[in-house]
Amino acid sequence: MSTTEMIPEEFLLAVPKTDLHVHLDGSIRLPTLIDLAREYRVDLPSETESGLRELVFKDRYKNLGEYLKGFGYTVGVMQSELALERVAFELAIDCQQEGVRYLEVRFAPQLHVHKHMNSVTVLRAVNRGLRRARDDFNSRTAVATQVEPAFEYGIIVCAMRMFREGFSEYYSSLVEAHRYAPPKEVYQMASLELARAAVIARDEYGMPIVGFDLAGEESGYPADDHAEAFRHAHKSFMKKTVHAGEAYGPESIFQAITDLNADRIGHGTYLLEPDAISDSEITDKVGYVRKLGEYIADRRITLEVCLTSNLQTNPSIQSYADHPFKKMREARLSTTLCTDNRTVSNTTLTNELRMAIDHLGLTRHDLKSIIIYGFKRSFFPGSYQRKRAYVRQIIDYYETIERRFYGPVA
């Protein structure tokens, strides 16, 4: 019997899962995008789902630029509190429907800041949507009686490695106000301001802001440009994750864990690839990668792997079978599978798991390990003791599902 036959779709949908790397603005429902575009007068290249799939949100993209094009439309319609709340609510519902029980939604609030909304206002709107979806789900009898584990969520705040005028009203104003300052200083200002807003949203407004992130173009925009912001997050006991090794080499990952104290790495695709190193000062590339991989493995710094997204944006990955995820597993690295962008990548978490099973040899034992580790390495917003209890409930529930499909658990 093949691995695929041993792990049916019904099982993948039934088991509790996490999605620790999913972008809000990359995961809007297409009918909602069309609806909000009409309401806020944002011009779309098509007003049908099929048309948008053909022209914008594809299964494969020519390059990263084409992949990112869709965000201009999604961010464009998410410029009001009501729109942000709606998109967040619907994302949570979509995740719940495929068995995601813990969700960490990330986005860059400054892409939505304008004269009517500051970063905290933006965060509050997103939190309202996620909280409403959580409360609706957890009011179900099966959850209220603890037959099933509750749905929980956290929000990860993203700073941008670089930006320019046109990214948003906020960024345009900042660039204009500091037109003669070096770009690096302007990036520093924005990320530090955002880190402070994230801590305020968590500590003064009680929002589940669980992490601080750095996203955007890696090449030419090093992590240490944002060290002060991450130092503020670190000193405020906020966890950190950094997009690194997605479109640049292993040295980008090294910067993330040393300059920014990253607890997790977003993507990390090039972690074990010595040929991806471009720093001329690194002469022993094989040794560098080996030591970096050992360090990350030993510290259990989890890699948030996004198979479909990487396949769509990385020309060196021609098929799912080419993805270095299998190599990561063989190196005993801590990994979890995520969607990145459900709409832009036209995927779901169940699909990501399916692709790993079908193309990368993920066994039922591997599947359980990866899923449970997602819960363990999450930035859960409650206390450590509450997180332990929640993870224990998740494991018990997972094993209940296993018995239903496969009989007694060994």
Task: Say if residue 405's pLDDT is above 60.
Answer: yes
pLDDT, tens only, 228-280: 999 999 999 999 999 999 989 999 999 999 999 999 999 999 999 999 999 99
Helix H or strand E encompassing 149: none
Q: Tell me the average pLDDT across 278-296.
A: 96
State mean pLDDT over 38-45. 96
Q: String of b and e for 154-176 (b: at least 16 CB within 10 Å)? A: bbbbbbbbbbeeebbbbbeebbe
Per-residue pLDDT tens digits for 292-305: 999 999 999 999 99
> What pLDDT was estimated at residue 410?
62
Length reported for the chain: 410
Rounded mean pLDDT, 372-378: 97
Q: What is the pLDDT of residue 316?
A: 86
- Min mean pLDDT across 50-64, 105-119, 214-228, 356-370 is at 50-64
| Residue 177 confidence (pLDDT) above 80 | yes
Q: How far apart are CA 31 and CA 126, in angstroms?
A: 19
Q: How would you label 46-75 residue by residue, b for 16+ Cβ within 10 Å and e otherwise?
A: eeeeeebeeebbbeebeeeeebeebbebbb
Which pLDDT score, from 0 to 100, does residue 315 have? 86
Model pLDDT, residue 360: 95
pLDDT of residue 3 exceeding 70: no
Q: Is the pLDDT of residue 1 over 50?
A: no
Q: Specify whether the backbone of 48 is left (phi greater than 0), alpha (psi in -120 to 50) or beta.
A: beta
Check if the beta carbon of residue 288 is closer than 8 Å to that of residue 277.
yes
| Average confidence (pLDDT) over 48-64 | 90
Is 281 among the residues known to form the active site? no
| Predicted local distance difference test score (pLDDT) of residue 118 | 97
Per-residue pLDDT for 192 more than 60?
yes
Q: Please tell me the predicted confidence (pLDDT) of residue 64.
A: 77
Q: What percent of the chain has pLDDT over 70?
A: 98
Q: State the pLDDT at residue 2.
A: 41
Phi and psi (nearest 5°) for 247? -130, 15
User: What pLDDT is attached to residue 79?
Assistant: 97
Average pLDDT over residues 166-183: 95
The domains of the chain, with CATH numbers, are: 3-406 (3.20.20.140)
Average pLDDT, the chain: 95
**Catalytic residue selected from 152, 218, 246, 402:** 246
Full-model pTM: 0.96
